[in-house]
Amino acid sequence: MRNRTVKNLYDKKFKTFDFEGVWADTIGQPETNGAWLVYGAEKNGKTWFSLLLAEYISSFTSVLYVSAEEGMGKTFVDACHRAQINPNNRRLHFVEYTPVDELSIKLSKRRSAKVVFVDNMTIYVDELRSKTLRNLLQKHSDKLFIFIAHEERNEPYTAAAKLVKKLAKIIIRVEGLACFVSGRCKGGTLTIDENKAALYHGSKIKE
């Protein structure tokens, strides 16, 4: 492995999302690969926020949302309505629980999604352990994985979710429809507007 000069580093090009508005205010212009984490206590708005994020990212590239916990049941469909997902959106697709091995095969196909939401990690507690998680991220290093996790004692649950938190470029903790953004980004607070089913920007997180 050869050494790189400072100029080599500065000249390096990265693929990023050209986020705008409240997304850019908090997340900035993130890379299009790696891992993010969205976590919080039950029924605090994690899926709602994740659906809003999924639709926004789908304006840039193809997105697959794995609804492993709720499947395609009424509560999940209601969440999609609540987030006002555009029924004509052809870049955003949904699947129910899919075993990790099958998901990996699906993502290996030429026209597979570039961004994958996994909702949520509790359902994968027996499959998605440290080694499996690292292998998944390494095998599909050109993709962005956004993992959703429950919270236990103010930390993400499961052990794999805690590992994701350590590896994640973007970390978003959801509490009472307030989404606290941190990680390798600007940081700040995004709040879900229940009336408009949209997000508005709150105060910046103090460093």
For residues 112-129, average pLDDT:
96
Residues whose CB falls within 8 Å of the CB of residue 128, separated by 6 or more in sequence, listed in order: 100, 121, 136, 158, 160
Residues whose CB falls within 8 Å of the CB of residue 96, separated by 6 or more in sequence, listed in order: 66, 67, 68, 71, 72
Least confident of 97-101, 161-165, 174-178, 199-203: 199-203
Q: What is the pTM of this model?
A: 0.93
Give me the residue label for tokens 């994985």.
145
Q: For residues 65 and 48, give the distance between their C-alpha atoms in angstroms, rounded to a whole number.
A: 12
* Confidence at residue 4, expressed as pLDDT on a 0 to 100 scale: 85
Q: With 70 as the cut, is the pLDDT of residue 206 above it?
A: no
* Confidence at residue 85, expressed as pLDDT on a 0 to 100 scale: 95
* Confidence at residue 204, expressed as pLDDT on a 0 to 100 scale: 56
Q: With 90 as the cut, is the pLDDT of residue 195 above it?
A: no
Q: For residues 26 and 49, give the distance between their C-alpha atoms in angstroms, rounded to a whole number.
A: 14
* Confidence at residue 205, expressed as pLDDT on a 0 to 100 scale: 52
| Whether 92 contacts 58, CB under 8 Å | yes
Instruction: Give me the helix-helix angle, 74-82 and 46-57, nearest 10°.
Output: 60
Amino acid 130 reads S
CATH class of 32-174: alpha beta
Nearest residue to 34 via CA among 134, 179, 103: 134
* Confidence at residue 12, expressed as pLDDT on a 0 to 100 scale: 82
Hey, where are the domains in the chain? 32-174
What percent helix, strand, coil does the chain show, rounded to 5? 30, 30, 40
For residues 144-161, average pLDDT:
96
For residues 14-31, average pLDDT:
96
DSSP-derived 3-state class of residue 155? strand
Band of residue 207 on the pLDDT scale cut at 50, 70, 90: very low
